[in-house]
Amino acid sequence: MAKNKYIKIILNAATGISIEVLYAFAIMAGSFLICFLLIR
């Protein structure tokens, strides 16, 4: 039970980190789109 609890904590943290990194990439993608629209 305790082992499962720790696996869940680590999985949640890993998912949280991935979502934060995705957020950063979303901002980069939006900005890249602006570059693309301005220099076509």
Partner 1 sequence: MILKPHLEDVKIIGYYLGKIIIGLGLFMLIPIICAVAFWEICPMFDFLIAIGITFFTGFVLVRLCFTEKDLNWMQGMIVVSLSWLVAALLGAIPLYLSGHWFSYLDSCFDAMSGFATTGLSLVQDLDHMSYAHNLWRHLIMFIGGQGIVIIALSLFVKGFSGAFKMYVGEARDERVLPNIIHTSRFIWLVSIVYLVLGTLALGIAGILDGMKAYNAFFHGACVFMAAFDTGGFAPQSQNILYYHSMAFEVITVVIMILGAINFKLHYHLWTGNFKELLLNIEMRTFFLTAITTFAITAIGLTTIGAYPDIVALFRKGFYQLISGHTGTGFQTVYAAQFMNEWNDLALTGIIFAMGLGGAVCSTTGAIKMLRIGVIFKGLVEDIKKIMLPEKAIIVEKFHHIKNIFLEDKQVRAALLITLCYLVLYAGGALIGMFCGYPFLQSLFESTSAAANVGLSCGITNSSMPVILKITYIIQMWAGRLEFMSIFTLLGFIVAAIRGK
Cα separations (Å) of 26 from 1, 11, 16? 37, 22, 15
Binding partner 1 (rule: CB under 8 A), the pick from 1, 3, 4, 30 is: 30
For residue 2, the minimal CB distance to partner 1 (Å) is: 18
Element at 11 (helix H, strand E): helix 2-38
Q: Is 2 in the site for partner 1 (CB under 8 A)?
A: no
* DSSP letter (8 states) at residue 1: -
Query: Contact positions toward partner 1, by CB under 8 A?
Result: 12-13, 15-17, 19-21, 23-28, 30-32, 34-36, 38-39
